[in-house]
Amino acid sequence: MTAAWTIEGAKARRGKALVLDGAGLSVAPGEVLGVVGPNGAGKTSLLRAGLGLMPLETGRALLGGRAIGGLNPIERARLVGYLPQERRLAWNLPALDVAALGAPDLPPGEALAVARERLTRVGMSHLAERGVLDMSGGERARVLLARLLATRAPLLVADEPVAGLDPDAQLLTLDLLRAQASAGAAVVVTLHDLGLAARACDRVLVLDHGRVAADGAPLEALSPTVLADVFRLDGALVETPAGLVVAARRTLSQREREGPTP
């Protein structure tokens, strides 16, 4: 089976700073891949570089086995739907119109029908006619998720889709992305909550300083050693009735253990 998205040996800079140092990923249809790592580890940079939105010094990115540089914008849009971390919108369009922007390939009437159905999925059908700038941040995030789902693309890439959402909305978001994978899509999602990543993802890729520190099933990728080395946490994944959670505490530095200087 051809991978839906492959990034190999990605090296990239932002200004003079090296943000990717040989990182890569691969995700197959039907799979949910979680990308985690400390702040500044290179998560967003990896997604953007792999989608052709950030230049690579070395490495390559393939969508459906095709080099991303050889795809025109229409071909790229058919292969991947992207939800960036930034949720800023310039115009106060109704939520229905914003969600319909995810289906530009459909006639207007069909695009609106798809958008309305996706708004229903994310629990926002009652606000379909409200302007997105008149909404809370969490409501706007749901509308943008509906727009992502409206793309019907075989690869869905979501950068921090649960940031700022209440717990129920976080779980709903991940359930909807999991449903897309069950229907055959490949899903890549960046997360800061390691427990959510462990419960929602088939595989977890851990980035640290622009490099892949671990890649595997959640219990393997988020082992006590990885938690300690990458996240500076003393702990482990623990199975609960609700799924895996991270039971951990910060690893104190020598200075913190010694306490304040008299």
Query: Does 121 reside within a domain?
Result: yes
DSSP, res 242: T
Q: Say what the pLDDT of residue 261 is.
A: 63
**Cα separation, 161 vs 179, whole angstroms:** 15
pTM of the model: 0.95
Residue 59 in domain: yes
Angle between helices 108-121 and 137-150 (to 10 degrees): 130
Name the residue range of residue 207's domain. 5-222
In a domain, 247, yes or no: no
pLDDT tier at 259, thresholds 50, 70, 90: low
- The torsion angles phi and psi of 208, rounded to 5 degrees, stand at -150, 120
- The confidence band for 87, taking pLDDT boundaries of 50, 70 and 90, is confident
φ/ψ of residue 45, rounded to 5: -60, -40
**For residue 42, is it left (φ>0), alpha (ψ between -120 and 50) or beta?**
left
Residue 131: both structure tokens together: 């302007």
| pLDDT score of 171 more than 70 | yes
Question: Is residue 76 packed enough to be buried (19+ CB in 10 Å), middle (13-18) or exposed (0-12)?
Answer: middle
Residue 176, pLDDT > 70, answer: yes
Residue with tokens 């914003």: 98
145-164 as b/e, with b when 16 or more CB fall inside 10 Å?
bbbbbbbbbbbbbbbbbbbe
Q: What is the pLDDT of residues 219-240, one digit of tens each?
A: 999 999 999 999 999 999 999 9
Angle between helices 167-182 and 137-150 (to 10 degrees): 0
Per 3-state DSSP, the chain is made up of helix, strand and coil in percentages (nearest 5) of 35, 30, 35
DSSP 64-131: TTEEGGG--HHHHHHHEEEE-S----SS--BHHHHHHTT-TTS-HHHHHHHHHHHHHHTT-GGGTTSB
Q: What are the CB-based long-range contacts (under 8 Å, 24+) for 37-42? A: 37/206, 37/207, 37/208, 37/213, 37/230, 38/208, 38/230, 38/231, 41/207, 41/208, 41/209, 41/210, 42/207, 42/209, 42/210, 42/211
Total tally of structural domains belonging to the chain: 1
Let me know if residue 37 belongs to a domain.
yes
Per-residue pLDDT of 13-47, as tens digits, reads: 999 999 999 999 999 999 999 999 999 999 999 99
Per DSSP, 132 falls in state G
Helix (H, G, I), strand (E, B) or coil at 249: strand
The answer, yes or no, to whether residue 3 has pLDDT greater than 80, is: yes
Report phi then psi at 129, rounded to 5. Answer: -95, 0
CA dist 26 and 80 (Å) reads 14
Task: Tally Cβ neighbours within 10 Å of residue 97.
Answer: 18
Q: d(Cα 131, Cα 34) in Å, to the nearest integer?
A: 32
Q: Does some domain include residue 210?
A: yes
Residue 109 CA to its chain's centroid (Å): 30
Segment 228-255 mean pLDDT = 90
The answer to whether residue 237 is domain-embedded is: no
In a domain, 256, yes or no: no
We report the CATH number of the domain holding residue 17 as: 3.40.50.300
Tell me whether residue 127 is in a domain: yes
